């Protein structure tokens, strides 16, 4: 598989997981939310490694910070409409 195709698949998997997380939050299904959130996290960690050249530890640290201290934490506590944010918004802005 070509690198660009792999990256697109990761982005698609993240979007699908984000929609499922939104749905789980809407229905207060925390078990589904947590299992889906794990795939959401893993796809973004892999994306960070593939697109930003991060090692696994660095990508994991970025995701922990993103999930606990930023827009993700705000989305979860405020139950903002729409899917949860992703790290794509942080890194794609730099690329543009």
pLDDT for 13: 95
CA dihedral 26, 89, 16, 72 (to 10 degrees): -30
Q: Tokens 């942080």 correspond to what residue?
A: 90
Q: Which of 85, 87, 66 lies closest to 21 in space, CA to CA?
A: 85
Please count the other Cβ atoms lying within 10 Å of the Cβ belonging to residue 86. 21
The pTM for the full model equals 0.83
pLDDT for 2: 94
Asked if residue 94 has pLDDT above 70, the reply is no
Q: Which of 91, 9, 68, 71 lies closest to 43 in space, CA to CA?
A: 9
Q: Which domain holds residue 44?
A: 3-95
The count of structural domains within the chain is 1
Mean pLDDT of 74-83: 79
Asked if residue 93 has pLDDT above 80, the reply is no
Asked if residue 77 has pLDDT above 90, the reply is no
CA distance 12 to 51: 15
Structure tokens at 4: 């660009």
**pLDDT tens, residue by residue, 39-71:** 999 999 999 999 999 999 999 999 988 888 777
């Amino acid at each position: 598989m070509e690198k660009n195709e792999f990256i697109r698949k990761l982005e698609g998997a993240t979007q699908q997981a984000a929609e499922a997380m939104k749905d789980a939050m809407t229905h207060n299904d925390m078990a589904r939310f947590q299992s889906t959130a794990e795939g959401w996290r893993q796809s973004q960690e892999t994306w960070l490694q593939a697109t930003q050249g991060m090692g696994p530890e660095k990508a994991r640290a970025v995701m922990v910070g993103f999930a606990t201290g930023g827009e993700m934490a705000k989305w979860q506590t405020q139950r903002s409409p729409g899917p949860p944010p992703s790290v794509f918004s942080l890194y794609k802005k730099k690329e543009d």
